[in-house]
Amino acid sequence: ISVICFYTSLVDIENQNVGKFPPNMKDEFGEYGILILNRQEFYKRVLETFIRNPECRVVYMGFVDYKKMQPGMNQWHPFRKDADDFSYQNEFRITFENDTEETFTLDLEISLRDIAVPIMADDVGKIHFKDGKLLYPTYK
């Protein structure tokens, strides 16, 4: 099984609230990120990419379920992690099976610039609402 992992922050549009980003996320997920501005379109494009790539089978997308785990008693599951140690990650994952053990590049064949923007991990805390609009850092 191949797994693509994304740290997510909950954005409550109705109450104009952006979830906090833990300070160690940069160390765990890297110094660069992508702020997805239209997740439904993102999901659609990812799904269409898998449909175009029949060598990828058994595709799942979803949020990780954080539960209290008993040491040595739980089988590994791609959408389950221990709540005590990892729930702050609020992870979204995409999993799929294919026939290669080599690194696989999921080529969306279309730019995400209309639905996503790059962001530095050091700047994620600057994402906020003002006057009903979601504001975030931009780069030249």
Give bridge partners of residue 119 from the DSSP assignment.
33
The answer to whether 16 and 132 have CB atoms below 8 angstroms apart is yes
| CB-based contact 55:99 (threshold 8 Å) | yes
DSSP letter, residue 86: H
Confidence of residue 60 (pLDDT cuts 50, 70, 90): very high
What is the C-alpha radius of gyration for the chain, rounded to an integer number of angstroms?
17
Reported as a single tens digit per residue, the pLDDT across 89-126 is 888 999 999 887 888 888 888 889 999 999 998 888 89
Q: Is the pLDDT of residue 83 over 70?
A: yes
In one letter, which amino acid is 101?
A: E
pTM of the shown model: 0.81
Question: What pLDDT is recorded for position 132?
Answer: 87
CB-count exposure of residue 122 (10 Å: 0-12, 13-18, 19+): exposed
- Residue 49's region, left for phi above 0, alpha for psi from -120 to 50, else beta, is alpha
pLDDT tens, residue by residue, 17-57: 888 888 788 888 888 888 898 989 999 999 999 999 888 88
> What integer pLDDT is reported at residue 136 of this predicted model?
92
CA distance 95 to 2: 5
